[in-house]
Structure 1
Amino acid sequence: MLMQINMTEQEANQYSPLALAFLGDSVYEQLVRERILLAANMPANKLHKLAVSRVCAEYQSECVEMLTEQGAFTEKEQEVFKRGRNTKVNAPKHSTIAEYRNATGLECLFGFLYLTAQNERIEELFGKCWEHGAEEFNIKIKE
């Protein structure tokens, strides 16, 4: 992570869900890009295509469903996720509204965790997301 921010939960809660999602989107994407780069040395256009497959709303929504089924979220994390998911958003172009809302909720949570310096928790949740669909992803790397 680039900066070490250490807000209290109360301070982080002062930000709107969309502001948290704005930050969380970049945190999530940076983690995706790092994992892809470390997995394979390949041309930038292929790196980009692989990253897009992991940062899209459809994939993030699948991660949310998997994490929810596993009971992976704490009560507080569930609350933050729901704040993001239930925020009014514009109609998405490449996903369903349900997928987009789930993705926004996940990004909101990642933004909140980042602001409150819960980096180990970010890594734990992201690791579970990364493993979701890992076999398919490994095939794409080899293509």
Structure 2
Amino acid sequence: MDEFLNNIQENRKIKTESEVRMMAPLVLAYVGDAIFEVFIRNYLVKEMNASVHQYHKRATRYVRAKSQAEVVHALETELTEAEWTIVKRGRNQKSATVPKNANLADYRYATGFEALLGYLFYIGEYSRLSLLMNRAVEIINNGMDV
């Protein structure tokens, strides 16, 4: 855990870019999902004073597949070619399950978004990661009926 936190604190790569490109897109999405979840929880705690139940209900609006798919489509022109390639690799992976409340296309684009977040995390692009997650919040907030 100390090495993990030190890498982040010192803005160091956790893995080389070539190592990260060799990782399975679903592994990147697995980590990206966790990163975005923590980011959203922290954002909500900073933005509002609520019960855990209210935080959870609000968080699901940000982390659901439909919202993440909308984010990917809105960000497409802002992503680099390399970033879009990661999104497509994540999107094209076959998953064993699909959540019952998501359509397949949204779920696949959400997986692509999460893979991108995992990729940026592992290569140490923390400022880009932060920028894209903040943009995701803006995009979702603009489309959300609060």
TM-score by length of 2: 0.87
Residue type at the aligned position of 1:58: K
Cα separation, partners in 2 of 1:73 and 1:114, compared to 1, 3 Å? same
In 1, the alpha carbon distance for the partners of 2:115 and 2:142 equals 27
In the other structure, the counterpart of 1:132 is: 139
1:73 aligns with 2:79: yes
Matching residue of 2:89:
83
User: Runs in 1 of length 4+ with deviation above 6 angstroms?
Assistant: none
**Secondary structure of the equivalent of 2:124?**
coil
CA distance in 2, matches of 1:57, 1:11: 27
Can you list the C-alpha shifts for 1:17-44, whole angstroms capped at 9, x where unaligned?
Answer: 1111000000111111111110001111
CA deviations on 1:115-134 (whole Å, 9 max, x unpaired) are 01111001111111111132
Question: C-alpha separation between the residues in 2 aligned to 1:78 and 1:9?
Answer: 15
Structure 1 unaligned residues grouped into runs of 5+: none
Closer, same or farther: CA 76–40 of 1 in aligned 2, 3 Å: same
Alignment of 1:1-143 (within 5 A): 3=5, 4=8, 6=13, 7-68=15-76, 71-89=77-95, 90-135=97-142, 140=146
Q: 1:83: how far off?
A: 0.6
Q: In structure 2, give the amino acid aligned to 1:72.
A: E
User: CA offsets, 1:57-79, max 9 Å, x none?
Assistant: 010001011111xx111011011
Secondary structure of 2:78's match? Answer: coil
AA aligned opposite 2:111 = T
Q: Deviations over 1:42-97 (max 9, x none)?
A: 111000100011100010001011111xx111011011111100001233311110
Flag structure 2 segments of 5+ consecutive residues without an equivalent. Answer: none
Task: Report the CA distance shift for 1:96/1:136 in structure 2 as closer, same or farther (over 3 A).
Answer: closer
Hey, what's the Cα distance between the residues in 2 that align with 1:105 and 1:73?
A: 12
